[in-house]
Amino acid sequence: MPYAFLKYGEAPATGHSLYISMHGGGNAPAAVNDRQWKNQIRLYKPKEGYYLAPRAATNSWNLWHEGHIDPMFDTLIENFVALKGVDPNKVYITGYSAGGDGTYQLAPRMADRWAAAAMMAGHPNEARPDNLYNLPFFIQCGGKDAAYDRNKIAAQWGAKLDGLAKLNPGAYKHKTIIYPNYGHWMNGKDAVAIPWMASHTRDPWPKHILWHQDDITGKRFYWLYNEAPKKDQIISATIDGQKILLDSDNVPTITLRLSDKLLNLEKEITVTNKQGKELFKGLVPRSKKAIDHSIQQRFDPNSVATALLKVTL
């Protein structure tokens, strides 16, 4: 997958930010998608950080949310963390048109990777916002962008997030702007998303997680690990002091990736399900195996677990 990147500003003490910006196009000849990619390379200019515009590996309609995208972006992030000194807590994703489609999909699917996400002029298809509990999400669309009902669906997603934020105070941070006078091209107004994203920093150890498996499944999400994920599995996990509450009707087993950043591993931990049944009680020892397991999965120094606990629900 070709990509181009530009560096802006001086690196903070924690390292540069990284913006992954996905181009539009889609189901079109390669030359069309090439032009869209070249446009994306200079579409946005953050004050600080690496701004990276990849060229999609295919020319399909769903070029940014096929199954190969997740591991490719994982590798891109790891490379920039290891080789460019990027701060893994300051990685952002955005995209325009077909790239906006990808943002709708990849922001929830890989929510534990991003500090914030911004969707411009895209369509979510079957994507759901559940996993955005800890991920700030910015929606922008032209009010006259009626193709595929992008304008209506953007407003609907904004309303969904309004409702979720009301039900979950402090979670589902978001912003929605529908520009009434613009169509598919928002005349550069959408660039406001870049500083908005930059104001957010990822928390790799949130106290509450909601994880829904899309049609493209994943094994790791924040401090949960699912060895055998299946489409439409959903689990919530909450930490309150030394207590962990797990709630799922269709995830039979889950591995908890634990750290002293999450709770005190020197003390006893209790794990229960939503019915109050005790699933585990005791100490969970730190181990080299847990550290190795984390690093082998993903080079993300800020999210390395030091203890593992497999639980049957």
* pLDDT score of 121: 98
The SS3 assignment for 83 reads helix
Domains of the chain, by residue range, sit at 3-198, 208-312
Give the pLDDT of the chain (313 residues) as one tens digit per residue.
Answer: 899 999 999 999 999 999 999 999 999 999 999 999 999 999 999 999 999 999 999 999 999 999 999 999 999 999 999 999 999 999 999 999 999 999 999 999 999 999 999 999 999 999 999 999 999 999 999 999 999 999 999 999 999 999 999 999 999 999 999 999 999 999 999 999 999 999 999 999 999 999 999 999 999 999 999 999 999 999 999 999 999 999 999 999 999 999 999 999 999 999 999 999 999 999 999 999 999 999 999 999 999 999 999 999 9
CA torsion through residues 237, 299, 307, 251, sign: positive
In CATH terms, the fold of domain 3-198 is: Rossmann fold (3.40.50)
By the 10 Å C-beta count (0-12 exposed, 13-18 middle, 19+ buried), 139 is classed as: buried
* pLDDT score of 1: 83
Buried b (16+ CB within 10 A) or exposed e, 86-113: bbbbbbbbbbbbbbbbbbbbbbbbbbbb
